[in-house]
Amino acid sequence: MKPKVVVAETIAQSGIDALAMSCDVDLAVGLDRAELLVRVSDAAGLIVRSATMVDAEMLAGAPELRVVGRAGIGVDNIDLEVATARGVLVVNAPHANTLSAAEHTMALLLAQARSVPQAHAKLVTGDWDRKSFQGVELHGKTLGVVGLGKIGTLVTQRCLAFGMRVIAYDPFVSQERGRRLGVEMVSFEDLVPEADFITIHLPKTKDTEDLFNKDTLARVKPGVRIVNTSRGGIIDEGALAEAIRSGRVGGAAIDVFAVEPTTDSPLFGLPQVVVTPHLGASTAEAQDKAGIDTAEAVAAALRDELVLSAVNIDIGREVSEDVQTFLPLAEQLGRAYVGVAGGMAGRVVLRAEGRIAGEELRPLKLALLKGALAGSSTEPVSYVNAPSIADQRGLIVDLESSEESDEYVSCLRIGSDDDSVSLAGTIGKKGALLVEILGHDVELPFSDHVLIVRNSDTPGVIGRVGTYLGDLRVNIANMVVGRSRVTGEAAMMGLNVDQPLTDDQVEGLRRLDGIEEARYLDLA
């Protein structure tokens, strides 16, 4: 049966259509809370916008719930702490409105610089007044971008085309990336007094709340113009209004407010201020993309994939294409390690080698934990709850990296802290490969059923293994022989088999002449 997904608020039909390809869609738009609680009681997924409160009560009443999708960016209406504790993934659509938000920023920047709405309002009353609305050019001015994420980058590119000089503050962006964008990266303290225009593109956190307060505004360049299309509460509206009245700030264009909806702000009525009611994402294209992106993220989560727009898991700022490609390998390595080691406890090391070593590795750690814990937990293991389950069991995964790799462009290695157990894998032309098992070089494809055999380097052993499996009617799909890196002896076999093996069958294999150890890995 398809998993049930409740859609509690209106999203684009294109999103509904995308969701319906793999899910049973239950449209519950307009229902009161009591009715909605009944509808989500057996749901695997839930999609909301900003009006539905996904709180502890709702999460507790939906024991099958695996993912909540927010068709937009902000997740203030979702209890992330409770969702995480219950293993419920929370996803949003962080990039659906990036272009629309960037274009709205430009609209406000230009409208404020040229007093467009004020001039319009006066002209339509019959007053032809050119003297009151002398503006300023953008060309040659310094723009200070606070937050150089996707939206900040899009705004930067457009302002560079206007001939502006761009400086930016973002503690997560390197000087090199800034240079590639044509931007000078500076500290926040240096940006504030130097910029002629400031545009804000930050999330609201405890660190950014009231970032532009009375003290900050006292240090700005006289006459600066400030634009905020990110989140309300980053600017102290009262302090900004006072700075404008005093002449310290030349004007502002504001799309977001500390309390929304709002019809009363100290900024209203100031002739130097342009305001809009949180319209950054209000385009047909952005709404369409939000519906599609959220639907695809929910569907991917229900397929047990790592969703890059996940809000309540730690995957770093960006996940590169290389890392995405290696996620299934990391998960398979985790499962294989448990099978080879006979369990997983204490401390292990995940080491990235080669090109992938320079990437953000936290998603690979999550995938490794998910794979390693999947077969030994009484509850479903997801990317959300894998870290907490690992903590409960005292399992620690250390991350290491080296840009050197002997044979492969990129390689992942997992080993015990005492080096008694080690595995390595890579992505080849035909998919994921085990390339080292317990110090033996192999190139064995991952499959649902893998048999690892350590044997003496004597004639006839391989034949005995083949005969034994043949008598059991177990087909060998693929087989490789590995040599020890230390002794150079051919002392290991890796086999992909088409059928699962029982414990008794594996024990019978161990009793064959020349067999030192045999382990069956169920990687299905």
Nearest of 220, 90, 202, 208 to residue 151 by alpha carbon: 202
In the set 81, 137, 260, 507, the catalytic residue is 260
360 is catalytic: no
Residues 6 and 47: beta-carbon distance below 8 Å: yes
The residues near 195 (Cβ < 8 Å, ≥ 6 apart) are: 142, 143, 144, 167, 220, 221, 224
> Cβ distance 252 to 274 under 8 Å?
yes
The maximal CA–CA distance of the chain, rounded, in angstroms, is 103
CA-to-CA distance for 159 and 148, rounded, in angstroms?
Answer: 13
How many whole angstroms from its chain centre is CA 509?
Answer: 44
Query: What count of Cα atoms within 13 Å lies in the side-chain half-sphere of residue 12?
Result: 21
Contact 255, 63 (CB under 8 A): no
Q: Please, are residues 495 and 453 in contact by the beta-carbon 8 Å criterion?
A: yes
Q: ω before 261 within 30° of 0 (cis)?
A: yes
Q: CA 395 to CA 390: how far, in whole Å?
A: 5
278: annotated active-site residue: yes
The helix (run of H) or strand (run of E) holding residue 364 is helix 362-374
Q: State how far the Cα of 294 lies from the Cα of 17, in Å rounded to an integer.
A: 12
**The tokens 């960016």 sit on which residue?**
73
Which amino acid belongs to residue 349? V
User: How long, in residues, is the chain?
Assistant: 524
**Kind of pairing, strands 197-200 and 224-228?**
parallel
- Active-site annotation holder among 231, 449, 454, 519: 231
d(CA 428, CA 404) in angstroms, rounded, equals 18
Per-residue tokens: 271:
């002739």
Which pair of structure tokens corresponds to residue 311? 């809000």
Q: Is 120 a catalytic residue?
A: no
- The residue from 278, 393, 464, 483 that is catalytic is 278
Cite the beta strand spans of 8-141 per DSSP E. Answer: 24-27, 45-48, 67-70, 89-92
Strand order of the sheet with strand 490-497? 396-402, 347-354, 410-416, 422-428, 431-437, 440-445, 476-484, 490-497, 449-455, 515-522
Distance separating alpha carbons of residues 281 and 268, to the nearest angstrom: 22
| Residues assigned a catalytic role | 231, 260, 278
